[in-house]
């Protein structure tokens, strides 16, 4: 198997980490990619879901909750900046344009979900200070609504990201097959 440069399309030996033609960092493709059943990427979603549940059951502090959200937000935002600034050669654009758009949409949705979930600590504080049952009930409903909306949006975003990942793998295979006439180099 060889490694194809995303920037210039050059076929490089497996042992290379950088394209021998243009010097770009080559994509890392794990051996798991070759398996037909793909594992879905859900780590960030699973972490956020767990931390939301822990916050709402008072198992973690507000600071810990917000630190986790901030860390994930930073990583996802960095990924968005990396993808947005990628230079893709014109001849490769048809293979990857749609998946990049889907991936960036997923990233935007994930960042929006994190922003929505950031208000939960404020609502919990209001709940703790609520003096009437009616106010408590309204706050509980609002907390549940925001939790459900935020986690639902994060789940949908994760699905977009998994679709983009599947498309990347499929499109790389198609492109490679076309470049090699159906034979893998």
Q: What is the pLDDT, as a whole number, of residue 1?
A: 57
Task: Write the CA distances from 28 to 5, 25, 55, 145, integer angstroms.
Answer: 10, 9, 36, 40
Q: What is the pLDDT, as a whole number, of residue 179?
A: 67
E strand intervals along the chain: 2-4, 11-13
> What are the contacts of 63-69 at 24+ separation with CB within 8 A?
65/120, 65/121, 66/118, 66/121, 69/114, 69/117, 69/118
What are the boundaries of each domain within the chain? 1-36, 38-175
pTM: 0.70
Q: What is the pLDDT, as a whole number, of residue 125?
A: 95
Q: Report d(CA 155, CA 163) in Å as an integer.
A: 12
Q: What is the pLDDT, as a whole number, of residue 80?
A: 87
Please identify which residue in the block is written with the tokens 């295979």: 173
Q: What is the pLDDT, as a whole number, of residue 178?
A: 67
pLDDT along the chain (185 residues), means of 10: 70 85 75 48 91 96 97 92 82 78 90 97 95 95 97 92 81 69 51
Torsion (CA) 166, 170, 173, 177 in degrees, nearest 10 = 180
Closest CA to 176 of 168, 166, 184: 184
């Amino acid at each position: 198997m060889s490694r194809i440069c995303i920037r210039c399309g050059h076929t490089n030996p497996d042992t290379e980490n950088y394209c021998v033609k243009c010097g770009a960092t080559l994509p890392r493709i794990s051996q798991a990619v070759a398996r037909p059943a793909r594992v879905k990427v859900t780590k960030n979603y699973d972490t956020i879901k767990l931390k939301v549940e822990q916050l709402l059951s008072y198992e973690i502090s507000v600071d810990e909750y917000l630190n986790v959200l901030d860390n994930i937000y930073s990583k996802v935002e960095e990924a968005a900046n990396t993808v947005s600034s990628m230079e893709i050669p014109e001849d490769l654009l048809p293979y990857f344009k749609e998946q990049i758009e889907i991936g960036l949409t997923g990233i935007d949705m994930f960042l929006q979900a994190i922003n929505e979930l950031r208000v939960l600590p404020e609502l919990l504080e209001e709940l703790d200070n609520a003096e009437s049952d009616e106010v408590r009930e309204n706050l509980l409903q609002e907390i549940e609504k925001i939790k459900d909306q935020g986690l639902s949006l994060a789940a949908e975003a994760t699905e977009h990201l998994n679709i983009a990942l599947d498309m990347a793998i499929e499109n790389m295979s198609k492109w490679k097959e076309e470049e090699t006439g159906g034979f893998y180099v």
